[in-house]
Amino acid sequence: MRFSRALPLLTLVASFSATAYATEIAQPAANMAQLLQAMQERLARLEARNAELERHLAEPAPERQELADRVDDVENQVRILKQPRKLERALDGISASAAMTMVAQHAMGGTSTGKHESQLNYRVDVELEIPGDRLGKLIGVGDSKFFAHFRAGQGNGLGNLNSTLTGTTNSSTFQLSDGDDSAAILAQAWYQLGIPVSPRSGVLGRFEATVGKIDMFGFFDGNDLADDESEGFLNNVFVHNPLLDSGGDIGADSYGFAPGARLAYIDDINSSRHWTFSLGWFGSSAGASFNGNFSKPFAIAQAEYTGKVLAGRSGNYRLYTWSNGAATAYSNEFDSTQERHAGWGLSLDQQVTRNLALFSRYGQSSQGQVKFDRAFTFGGQLGGFGWARARDRVGLAFGWLRPSAAFKAIAPTLDANADTSPDFGFAPTGAEKQVELFYAWQVNDNLQLTPSLQWIVQPGGDGALKDIAVIGLRAKAAF
């Protein structure tokens, strides 16, 4: 019964213990809630502060904004400068060149006066090439270009040399009818259209059509070593085929140009060798200066091969034939009658070694009364590699012109204009021979100086005339 009396006491103690334990448990829970509330409030304040800082950072300072504006301005200016302007767009692809050639010559012998003679001349050439003509784009095939050439100058060169078949010892001369007039003329103005052969035909190559006022020698009778009197040989027989130029069969105007057209097929199936076949029709006599029609044109056909023929070195070989229905007998300026002249010729140049290249031309008359009916020239150029002047050149050439039998017979007494004075006044008995030697010194990229020596043996084929000896100095500035 002791246990029953103690039970109320135990119950009272247990209730006090449970109350104390519950109080101990509730106190930490209240503290934790307060702590969490405080942390949430602090976090909210930090987030608000962070948002405020980000807002301030997003707002650039006045000096930063000014710098940013300047950078934007510079970028805009650079963008504008990079864009092609109207003038630049208009000039895109256009090429231009200019050159001035001045020649001083002194005849030491072979003058009609028996005295020494000196002469100076100059010539200015400006060339302009414009590609991509609208006509080429319009037809949707090929490419096209327009070419213009302006020329001015003064001086006719040595004027009192003994009569020759050569024509001139200075092919760079150019002068209008009035010696005091140095105005420029439009020497050339032509348009060219190139039309490729369709690949579907199985044939590679292209056609070229050229029409306008043209220098015929720019397309026919070319020669890499002997076709530029401003940098190579000066004597006319070494610049072009003598029968065409010195002999007068070309029939061009007083300055060597004529209106005409050229049609060519270029077979460039292999980049290292190709064929070119060309036909040309040009105004002759009065037609060359736009004072006549084209009823009797100068016509020429040429086949040209370019390739590595000799020991893997490049060369050019050209064979051509011509006919002129408005030529003048013996190329006599005092004769107004016309007749047909015809002939054929060849022009070749070949690189033989790294330093040495050779050239040759041959011409033969097949119809018409001409001063000489055979012409042969031969020569070469030696590069300056051997004496540490790679851009310098030495040139040497020989020429031979054979007077025709008819001219030999008639030259001493021919008087076509009946003024009782012989038109030529010399008696050819043999061939006229020419020699020219020059050294081209390339001073810099733009300037070239070239001293030269010429010797003409038996001028006009007349053994009674003294040989002609001419020294000269040529200066050419090109840009």
Instruction: Confirm if 253 and 288 have CB atoms less than 8 A apart.
Output: yes
In the predicted model, is pLDDT for residue 23 greater than 60?
no
What domain range is 422 assigned to?
99-118+154-181+211-478
Does residue 65 sit in the same domain as residue 104? no
* CATH label of the domain that carries residue 297: 2.40.160
40 belongs to a structural domain: yes
Average pLDDT over residues 246-251: 91
Give the chain's radius of gyration (CA, Å).
45
Three-class SS of residue 75? helix
Q: Which pTM does this prediction carry? A: 0.80
Instruction: Confirm if 124 and 151 have CB atoms less than 8 A apart.
Output: yes
Does residue 60 sit in the same domain as residue 162? no
Confidence of residue 405 (pLDDT cuts 50, 70, 90): very high
Q: How far apart are CA 467 and CA 446, in angstroms?
A: 36
150-174 confidence digits (pLDDT tens): 999 999 999 999 999 988 999 999 9
127 belongs to a structural domain: no
In the predicted model, is pLDDT for residue 199 greater than 50?
yes
Average pLDDT over residues 222-251: 95
22 CB-side CA count, 13 A: 6
Instruction: Confirm if 105 and 438 have CB atoms less than 8 A apart.
Output: no
Q: How far apart are CA 369 and CA 268, in angstroms?
A: 40
Name residue 360's beta-bridge partners: 348, 378
Q: How far apart are CA 432 and CA 424, in angstroms?
A: 15
Q: How far apart are CA 154 and CA 162, in angstroms?
A: 22
Choice among 120-134, 315-329, 346-360 with the minimum mean pLDDT? 120-134
Which residues lie closer than 8 Å to 255 by C-beta, 6 or more apart? 151, 174, 185, 187
Q: How far apart are CA 277 and CA 269, in angstroms?
A: 14
Report how far Cα 134 is from the mean position of its chain's Cα atoms: 21
Instruction: Confirm if 107 and 118 have CB atoms less than 8 A apart.
Output: yes
175 belongs to a structural domain: yes
Pairing of strands 258-270, 273-282: antiparallel
Confidence of residue 340 (pLDDT cuts 50, 70, 90): very high
Question: What is the pLDDT at residue 352?
Answer: 96
Average pLDDT over residues 379-401: 96
Look at the block and give the residue holding tokens 């109350």.
Answer: 19
Does residue 229 sit in the same domain as residue 326? yes
Q: Give the start-end residues of each E strand in 114-236.
A: 117-131, 143-154, 185-196, 206-214
191 belongs to a structural domain: no
240 belongs to a structural domain: yes
Question: What is the pLDDT at residue 35?
Answer: 81
Question: What is the pLDDT at residue 82?
Answer: 66
Does residue 77 sit in the same domain as residue 103? no
In the predicted model, is pLDDT for residue 382 greater than 90?
yes
Does residue 74 sit in the same domain as residue 172? no
Question: What is the pLDDT at residue 87?
Answer: 54
33-57 confidence digits (pLDDT tens): 788 888 888 888 888 888 877 777 7
Confidence of residue 32 (pLDDT cuts 50, 70, 90): confident
309 belongs to a structural domain: yes
- Alpha helix positions (H), 83-171: 86-91, 134-139
Question: What is the pLDDT at residue 384?
Answer: 95
327 belongs to a structural domain: yes
Does residue 288 sit in the same domain as residue 228? yes
Q: Which amino acid would we find at residue 158?
A: L
Which residues lie closer than 8 Å to 2 by C-beta, 6 or more apart? none
- For residue 202, give both structure tokens: 């199985």
In the predicted model, is pLDDT for residue 452 greater than 90?
yes
> Which of 148-179 are b and which e, b meaning 16 or more Cβ less than 10 Å from the residue's Cβ?
bbbbbbbbebbeebbbbbbbbbbbbbbbbeee
Confidence of residue 9 (pLDDT cuts 50, 70, 90): very low
Total number of domains in the chain: 2
Question: What is the pLDDT at residue 417?
Answer: 87
86-125 confidence digits (pLDDT tens): 555 556 678 999 999 999 999 999 999 999 999 999 999 9
Does residue 349 sit in the same domain as residue 273? yes
Question: What is the pLDDT at residue 67?
Answer: 72
Instruction: Return mean pLDDT, the chain.
Output: 87
Question: What is the pLDDT at residue 197?
Answer: 82
Does residue 238 sit in the same domain as residue 364? yes
Q: How far apart are CA 368 and CA 325, in angstroms?
A: 10
Three-class SS of residue 320? strand
Q: How far apart are CA 467 and CA 153, in angstroms?
A: 29
Question: What is the pLDDT at residue 144?
Answer: 86
204 belongs to a structural domain: no
How long is the chain?
Answer: 479
Question: What is the pLDDT at residue 63?
Answer: 61
Closest-CA residue to 291 (of 323, 251, 322, 328): 251
Does residue 75 sit in the same domain as residue 107? no
Does residue 110 sit in the same domain as residue 35? no
Average pLDDT over residues 78-88: 64
Instruction: Confirm if 349 and 374 have CB atoms less than 8 A apart.
Output: no
Does residue 168 sit in the same domain as residue 74? no
Does residue 173 sit in the same domain as residue 55? no
